[in-house]
A and B are shown apart, each in its own frame.
Chain A
Amino acid sequence: MSAVDQTEVAQRLPSGIERGAIDCDIHPALSSTKELRPFLDEHWQEMLAVRNIDGLDLTSFPPKADLFSRPDWRPKQGKPGSEIGAVKADVLDHFDLKFAIANCLYGAQAAYNEYIGEVLCRAINDWLSKEWLDKDKRLRASIVVSLANPEAAAEEIERVAADRRFVQVLVLAMGEALLGRKQFWPIYRVAERLNLPIGIHAGSTYRHAHSQAGFHSHLVEDYVVQSQGFTAQVLSLIAEGVFAKFPGLRVVLIESGVTWMPALMWRATKNWRGARIEIPWVRQAPAAIMREHFRLTLQPFDAPPDPADFERLMEHFGTDEMFLFSTDYPHWHFDGDDVLPAGMPASLVRKILVDNPLKTYPRLVEAS
């Protein structure tokens, strides 16, 4: 261990993570669409009231399910993550973070009516700015957009991105059409230009059955098979040529788990060798494209049970640049301070906590 590493260890908090880490996935909760009233015009205030447009919590994330509310992070009242004081105490202060990226999971992105989707996303972005970002300088946020009308989404990104505290664009893993499709390219054009990665977060708009054999019965199954949605998006973004067209674009897979990716790299690359005539614009091996363009947040870390296997798994990735620290607050994936998986070498810890997030989110560097 180098002298620098020794210093870092000395500065570590009880959690084992050093001060100044960057948490790439926390969830501020919107209690009700009523909270968005100040950010809506009169027409939409009335529409929300008379049409009972509320309760758009995503079916993918029932707020009281064990998976999504860690017991000691549950407030006495309201949804976990709905109160900024608790978010400060539980995460920002507790882990002594430099930044935390707020990803708002609310059904605005899943609305069938594109205007409702746009209006609510716009209001959420303004609400994030005023009720969260203005209240703690360590907070950063993702721009939420509805994909129903990609041109409108691109405009919303352009509008919100003027505020440099917004550091990425947020979409759900399972939407209406796969994200590589050209209909979404206006979003990538603006995102690349404005240095905003595309964050694909677990969750579904329920446009399609979650599996090739329909909808699973249980939430736990649904959560496990999210990896299929992520896999499909990785394949689609590569196959459709998004990275050939937008070479500067980065994609962050959020709350995806990570261990499924090496097998995908192997399988996708082998098949590409046999089938690349079909997608000639994919000039690099898909594994190389994944390493260059994709990043994954840490939690929920779907690790092998034996910490000794951690190193093996990292070797399978072929890089340690892909992982970004996240607590996934207030979701319950670890207890106490055990946010870092056992067996993680110190050199990797530093990269995950700080270096990789800074490289992934250029807008964080501006403020560092």
Chain B
Amino acid sequence: MSVAEIEKTDPKSSRLDLIDCDIHPAVMASPAALYPYMSTRWRNEFESIGPRVAQPFLRQVPYPRLTPGNGMRGDAWPAGGGAPGSDLGLLQQQLLDTFDISHGILVPLTPSTLNQGLCAAICSAVNEWQIDRWTSHEPRLKASLCVTPDDPEAAVEEIRKHAGNRKFVQILVTPRTIEPIGRKRYRPLFEAAVEYGLPVALHSDIGGKHANSGAGWFSYYWEDHVAYTFSMQTMITSLIMEGVIDRLPDLKIVAIEGGFAWVPSLGWRLDKHWQRMRSEVPHVTLPPTEYMRQNFWYTTQPIEEPETPKHLQDTIRWIGADRLLFSSDYPHWDFDDPRYAFKTKLSRADEAAIFAGNARRLYRLDQ
């Protein structure tokens, strides 16, 4: 489908407000764009050794995708060359204008580089690049403050550098950390987030330092993609059970690109077993679902599709419609179109909350 064939929404029938909480500007497809923002040392290292991550292939994702560009939408390639998500004009036309999006949150995906110095340098470069190349040219776009969680000291330094810039609406980390992210070593990162009033977003990551399940490595992309929920579940479990939310009641956490239908079951499991094992975690003072209702948000894409679409209504009721943030995941292959993503009719109030209201409040977009 070409851009011209996309049915343009009629502004009068469209929602009043639409905010897309997961847009991917191309980072690693054209890393040379980052070089101006890197020191000679790190630029040289990037070019010679490269951003090594914990997987066997230097320049190939561990589970090959099914569409060109490592799983891109076929119609998102700019006519003038470059990767999907590399051209502001096409992104404006194909996404922001077509769907009349008020705000889009940029979520640049940086590699979980093993060399923490290089990892921090890439994050710093990506942060400046977002302002320079994206948000300065398009006020509808907001940036994510990328930091490397496994080096909390560097992360806090990077947060301090940019937290005053309101173009950055959240701190972005990968949930596939060396240790579960609730453990003490990561505490400074969350303390800084609370200090500056920024939510911490965790976006599914394709590479990590541990097997993609406790039972070993998958063989197929299909398995790996379904299991993007694992790191999200572990992150929520760890932050609650290590007492991080108890200590930092104002902490706001966003789980991006994991869908959300798994959330109710996780909450019931956590509550049930916490009740039995309270002596092991006396620092967790409330039932875990209470924290989930207060401190966690979930972006909707890739939205789960029950065989009976209305079943999703139960799921939303169990999670709370105030917890969900619409996201498209543009320009990835499994893009959710805001017109068709929900196969069940939401109430006007829930629709307004999920498609914009929740994000507007969480990210303080009106301030």
Contacts and interface: CB of A to CB of B under 8 A. Distances in A.
Contacts of B116: none
Contact of A211 (B230, B265, B268, B333): B230
A216 B237 contact: yes
B16 interface: no
Contact of B215 (A213, A218, A233, A333): A233
A219 B277 contact: yes
A212 B223 contact: no
A260 interface: yes
Given A212-B234, A278-B220, A221 B210 contact: no
A260 B183 contact: no
Interface in B207-230: 208-223, 225-227, 229-230
A290 to B, nearest CB: 12
Interface string B277-290: 10111000000000
A184 B315 CA distance: 36
Interface stretch (A135-143, A148-156, A309-317): A309-317
Nearest to B177: A213
B318 A309 contact: yes
A174 B269 contact: no
Contacts, number: 253
Interface stretch (B28-36, B82-90, B256-264, B354-362): B256-264
Contacts of B178: 213-214
Nearest to B224: A235
A224 B175 CA distance: 17
Nearest to A231: B227
A208 to B, nearest CB: 4
Interface in B191-247: 208-223, 225-227, 229-231, 233-235, 237-238, 241-242
Contacts of A277: 66
Contact of B311 (A175, A278, A316): A316
Interface stretch (B124-132, B151-159, B300-308): B300-308
Given A66-B279, A217-B183, A231-B230, A208 B219 contact: no
Contacts of B183: 217
A267 B304 contact: yes
B215 A315 contact: no
Contacts of B273: 67, 220, 223-224, 300
Nearest to A313: B314
21 contacts: A67-B277, A179-B215, A204-B214, A211-B210, A212-B234, A213-B180, A213-B231, A217-B241, A220-B281, A224-B273, A227-B233, A229-B213, A232-B212, A260-B269, A263-B265, A266-B261, A267-B304, A271-B222, A278-B221, A287-B307, A303-B272
A-B residue pairs, 7 tightest by C-beta: A232-B213, A263-B261, A211-B234, A220-B277, A210-B214, A259-B265, A266-B304
Interface of A: 65-67, 173-181, 204, 207-221, 223-225, 227-229, 231-233, 235-236, 239-240, 257, 259-260, 262-272, 274-279, 287, 300, 302-305, 309, 312-313, 315-316, 318, 332-333
Given A224-B266, A275-B66, A302-B272, 12 more contacts: A66-B276, A211-B210, A213-B210, A223-B273, A225-B233, A228-B214, A229-B213, A232-B212, A260-B262, A263-B265, A263-B304, A271-B225
